[in-house]
Structures are given as structure tokens and as C-alpha cells.
Structure 1
């Protein structure tokens, strides 16, 4: 029940015996029915009891005699028009402010400039290489070249992404790895262009040459600051172009086919060769800063010697950083700010639960002064998208139909060219698979029986029985021992049993592909296992056990 002022007045009058019989009856009913009113009643009663305990002041017989002269002389007619002192102070401050603004004084501009400089100086101190926060492997560098993602910590939980939005403006984005779409992997690149071990080592050396450069244009510090130099866009385009140029030098036919034909590829490669790039960029003072409480573009003085020393120290430790030296970036305060932030003439910032996107204005765009590079970047984007589409993987189009027949379309590329197949399949209930319904699922033998599939991918003589035997052997080996692919005698015996009448080149390539696929599968499973472990910890955080504090016992011995 809501307690009003009227109820409180009645409670006070009830204690003083000043209520009418009707009001007294209503008050007593309220006291019986409401504990809150009873509590207020006790408070008022206690207050009245405390006041009644004070002794009354003695009467002053001369009070009226002293009061009368004060009433006659204390009133001044001007008091009616007197202005309060706070109003005078406020009016004076307003006049001074108007004079300063009218006179064109630079006082406020200098004041705001000093505040901004102080903030920028705070976050730009002790900037060092990205390698102090994340170890960049060749897979990471290839992922940056193709998928535009660069890890920001040693766990790969946060990544830095660059790209172009629907309006053609470049953007920076810091996001959690779970929000990243999977793309082409380094091993896929090797398989796509049939690179042998020596050629793969050359690709690795190209990637290694960019490691220090990328680590110098993306800087971090212990204040959770990420500083990105505009040269990052140039390195990205040049790295992709270098990878494409080398792949075409060793397998031009495969590269031309992957990128849409001879004319498209020649048009792409007619762009001027990139100039040699130093480790530290010429415009090293320009950076986009992403910090826990601000995002800005500013010039910063970077200690190049310190960065080079840090990189050399890390390389000496075999691309690893000790736990004491590791920089751990925490941008959770930024992710907590939801929505879109836009200011006139500044960067546009969009923040949600998974990412921080900074859309860069055209006046500070990293590609503004080099339209040739911008054109090349656009062409390379299109080319690598085509490469991703033509990646040698099976793609299954399976509609979510329960307990009925559906079609499986398989699209592949073989040595004889592209081919597609369509097979029928009777499926059990795929929405809810019961325990005994698993036995009803039939193997997809029609793929191995297909004459077109065998002629495309297995041109040598190979019977259906051998293919089925191969499938059974692989299944047993996968389930029995993951080290089987690393055992050369077992591998040789397996291929003698199943591929005795096939060419040596085909056997060697298939053996290596099988081993690479298994290693990739094992790596992905380990990553999935780690992500599931972190997910369980986030859902059910375990309280740390409190360690018992030691008890100090002192004895005082008197002698």
C-alpha cells in the first residue's frame, strides 16, 4: 500500500488524540491491515517520545521588548530589489566568455588542443611490434593476404581485418575470431596449383619476408592500444600480387584457369611491379589508433630502434615471446559501447558485440594518393574470390528434408577438367536421428561406381572392388591410429596393395594429399576442442578455491 502524506498526518494526529471518531476508526483499520503503516506509526511514535523528553525552554519576559525595535529598523526598501550574489557571478562569467569569443581568442582552441595532445601522447607511448602480442605464422600471413585477417593475440581470439564497404570506403575492424568467415587456407593454395615441396618452401619464404613488415605497421602497447599504419593496405596488395606472380611462374596454366582465363590474367599482371618496400614505412608517423576509450587518427613518433630490437629479440627466441613480455590486449570496454558513432569530418565508428568497425574518410584514405594501387587492389580482390570459388573441394547441396529422397550434387576439378555429378539417395529421418535409424543410412557407393567419376579422377585401370577396398582400409586406419600417415613402411605397403598398376606420380601425389588432409583435420579438431573448452568455461565459470590464509600465533613469555 502506498503511504501518502494524508496517512502520515492522520498517524501523527492519532497519537495526539486529535482525530474524529470516523478518522480514528479508519486509522486503526489501516494499522491492522498494513505492516508498512505500522512501521511508520512506530517511527512517528518514537520521534514524539524523544521530543517530549526534552525540557521546555524557560520563557523570556523581555522578548517582545527586544523584538519591537528590530522590526522598525531592520527593513530596507532596497532589499526588495537586491540581486542574489550567485546571479551576479554567473552574469559576469557570461560577459567575460562573450568578450573572449568575440575577440577571436585562441584560448579555448589551445585548451582543447592540449587535452587532445595529452590523450594521444598517453596512448602512443611505448608502442612496439605486433609480435609482442601475437606470433605470426605463415598460415596467419596467408590468411591476411587472402582473407584480410591478422591475429592480435597468441590465442587467435581477436583479429584485425581490413576491407572495403559497399560504398567503396576502406575500413579497419577489430573482431572476435568466432565472427570470421572461413576462407582459403595455405594448404588449399598448395593443392590448387600442384606445388611440390621445393615450391612450397619458396612460398613460405615470400610469406616470411612480409612478417617483419606487417609487425612494424601494426603496433601495440601495454595500454591496450592498437595502432595501424596506412601502409598495411599496400603490404596487403603487394603480398597477394607476389604470391600470384610466383604461382604463375611455376604453374601458369593452373593459375590462368583459376582466375578466369588468359585475357583476365594478363590484364591483372599488366599492373606495374611493386617497388621494394623497407621494413619501416616512410609515413611511419601516421596511425589509426583504437584504444579502450577513444578511436582517432593521429601522428605519432615511433621509436624505430626499439621496434627493430624487439623484432630481433623475438626472432632470436624462435618466434616466441615469454609470458612476462607478452602484451595482452583487452578491448572489452570498447565492445560494451553499442551503436554507431559519427562526427562531422571524422571517422565513422560502428560497434556491436563482436566487432569494432572504423570506416575511414576519403580525406585520410590510405589509397587516396595512389589510384593505380586502388585499381590493383580491386582486381586482386576479384581474382582471389574466383580462386576461392574454384577451390578443389566437394560441395554438397542437401535440402533439409526429413525422411525422404533428395539429390546430392558434387562439383569437382580433376586432371581432365571440371566435372559435376548428381546422385539419388534415400535418407532416413535427418531431423531427429534415433539410435536404430543410424543403421538405415546407406553408404554413398554411387560416387565410386560412377564411370564418369573414375575416368576423370582415376584414369589408370582401377576396379570397383579396389576402390571399395581402398575406402575400407582408409576407414580402418583413420579410426585405429592417427600416426599411420607418418609411418612410411605402412604407407608403401598400402599403396602396393591398392595402386600397384597406377603411375608413381599419381601415388606420390595422392599419398601426400592424404597426409596433408589428415594433418589439417587434426589441427581443426584441436582448435574446435579448445574453443569448446573456452565456451564451457564461459558458461560455467568455476570459482577459484580460496586458499587458507596462514594464522600467526605469537607467544609472550615473561621471565
Structure 2
């Protein structure tokens, strides 16, 4: 016969205490006759209850207990009132203390909030490294970034960042894993159309390499799934276009034939854009984290990073 241990133990205990009805007693005794294990459990419970009755001395009932209890309570009314209202008194006292603190230090809560915000921002800023370092940007990548607003984020070109602007002129970016436009002949066509000699080609390569190095600090990541993107990335894209146009114009060849897309940019505008980017020392970044999004300043130490890479 199947035993429900917890229920059977409760029934056995009630059986020994005489708390079962006649029908329940009859059913239990039938079950006991068919279940040796249940009979053993009954004997064990009986021994425990017998020991308990022997070891515990019954306390004699005190005469007039209720009368003396109520007399004692009536003689201490203030203590009862104090006990009853102690939570309210405690809360009121705490409220008064907080009000006094805020009165003499009104910026306390604001300072606590700012400290927590700085602590959280500091946590997500730890160990930020250039994401574009792993993509090993080529001069052709930089050239195509200028005209197609796409920049590969890894050396397999399976992830890339796409810059753009909406109808209202607000700039945005997307990180995509599909749709990368590989324009492998644009850089080569530019060099061939301008008929650059070795010296001029070296100058152009140096200019592209310089931008590749500068772009590394514009997108940073760390092991806390933080992505930090500098708004200056949009300005770099414009500056690269401006520098390429300026370089092409200086060659004396037809700019329209050399460019993958024709940009009508006047010389003063070219110089203005390039100067703006190269003189901009703004260290502001947009931080994307698993928990939040915020804008804050961050100084990326390129020299320290390069030392770490040399030692790695």
C-alpha cells in the first residue's frame, strides 16, 4: 500500500492524541494492519510522545492570572501608548532630521545623484580600446569612407558603421552586418586618373594613413559591452573629402573624372572643414552600454595604447 509520509505522520500523531473521528480511526487501523512500516512509525511516535510527557513538567495554573494581568496593564498606560505610537514617532523624527539636513545642505541629494552618475560613468569608461585597430584600415578604406560613409569595423569586413542624415538634416549612424559596399577600384582609379608620380602618390598615401590613425580613437569599446563613438567622426568624413578634393585640384587634372562622386566644394569651404577637424580637441563621446546611453567626456591616451600594443 502506497504511503504518503507527511500525511500519514500527521494522522498517526493525531491518532495518538485522540484527535481523530471514529471513521478516521477505523481507516487508519486498517491501513496499519496492512503496512508494517506504518506500524513501526506509530511505535516510534508513541515513544517520542511518552518521553516528552515525562521530561516536561506541567506548569500549575496561576490563580487570578487574568485579573492580575489587566491590573498590571492599567497601571502602565503611558508605556502602552508609547509602544502603540512608536512607529509614528520614529518616522516623524526621521522626517524632521532629513528636513533639517536638507535645509542646511540643499544640494545634498543632487550631489549624491551626481556622485552615483560619475561612478556609473567611470565603470563603463574603464579599459576602452580602439575598435578600428582590429580592422586594420587601408588607404582604400579611408578613401571609400569619404565618399560612401561606410567604415569597416573588422578585418573580415563583415561589420561596418554607416553614417547618414535624415530629411531634417540630423546626422545618425548605424552598425550593420550586411550591405557593405566594396568599391575596390575607386582608390586605384583616383591615382591613375591624376597620373600621380611616386612623390605625389607617397604624399597622398601619407595623408590617408594619417586619417586611418586618427579615426582609431573615434570608436572605442571595452569588455563591459560599452561602445563609445565620438560625434567628431562625421567631421572627419567631411574633412577627408575636403582634403581629397584639395589634393586633386592641386594636381591640375579634371576633378570630375577622378572622383567616384562629384562634390562641388569651393576652396574656402575645403580649408574651413579641414581646419575645423584638425584643430578640434573636443573629447566628447556618446556612450552606448547594456543599461543606459549617455554623453560624457573621455580622453583616450593614444601613446599609452601604442605602448601596450608593443608589449603585447
TM-score clears 0.5: yes
Over 3 Å counting, the alpha-carbon distance change for 1:285 and 1:43 in structure 2 is farther
Q: Secondary structure at the match of 1:111?
A: helix
- Does 2:285 correspond to 1:287? yes
* Deviations, residues 490-514 of structure 1 (Å, cap 9, x unaligned): xxxxxxxxxxxxxxxxxxxxxxxxx
- Does 2:178 correspond to 1:180? yes
Partner of 1:20: 21
Cα distance in 2 for partners of 1:180, 1:227 equals 22
Contact 1:134/1:153 (<8 A) preserved: yes
Cα distance in 2 for partners of 1:293, 1:74 equals 60
Partner of 1:90: 91
Contact 1:206/1:243 (<8 A) preserved: no
Cα distance in 2 for partners of 1:47, 1:157 equals 73
Q: Secondary structure at the match of 2:20?
A: coil
Cα distance in 1 for partners of 2:155, 2:45 equals 66
Contact 1:13/1:19 (<8 A) preserved: yes
Over 3 Å counting, the alpha-carbon distance change for 1:273 and 1:80 in structure 2 is same
TM-score normalised by length of structure 2: 0.65
Over 3 Å counting, the alpha-carbon distance change for 1:197 and 1:211 in structure 2 is same
- Could you tell me how far 1:210 is from its partner in structure 2? 0.9
Cα distance in 2 for partners of 1:81, 1:58 equals 37
Cα distance in 1 for partners of 2:255, 2:194 equals 18
Partner of 1:189: 186
- Could you tell me how far 1:109 is from its partner in structure 2? 0.7
Cα distance in 2 for partners of 1:108, 1:126 equals 30
| 5+ residue gaps, structure 1 | 32-37, 260-264, 315-320, 326-559
Cα distance in 2 for partners of 1:45, 1:279 equals 92
Cα distance in 2 for partners of 1:49, 1:169 equals 85
Contact 1:212/1:279 (<8 A) preserved: no
* Deviations, residues 94-118 of structure 1 (Å, cap 9, x unaligned): 3433555577811111111122223
Q: Which has the higher contact order (CA 8 A, sep 6+)?
A: 2
Which structure has the greater CA radius of gyration? 2
Partner of 1:273: 270
Contact 2:194/2:248 (<8 A) preserved: no
Partner of 1:217: 218
Cα distance in 1 for partners of 2:86, 2:46 equals 39
Contact 1:147/1:184 (<8 A) preserved: no
Contact 1:134/1:152 (<8 A) preserved: yes
Partner of 1:113: 114
Give the helix-richer structure, 1 or 2: 2
* Deviations, residues 49-75 of structure 1 (Å, cap 9, x unaligned): 6555433422445x5159578525431
Over 3 Å counting, the alpha-carbon distance change for 1:51 and 1:168 in structure 2 is farther
Partner of 1:307: 302
Over 3 Å counting, the alpha-carbon distance change for 1:60 and 1:209 in structure 2 is closer
- Over the aligned positions, Cα root-mean-square deviation in angstroms equals 5.0
Cα distance in 1 for partners of 2:29, 2:257 equals 97
Partner of 2:231: 230
Contact 2:160/2:180 (<8 A) preserved: no
TM-score normalised by length of structure 1: 0.40
Cα distance in 2 for partners of 1:133, 1:238 equals 23
Partner of 1:58: 57
Aligned length: 291
Cα distance in 1 for partners of 2:220, 2:120 equals 17
Q: Secondary structure at the match of 2:172?
A: strand
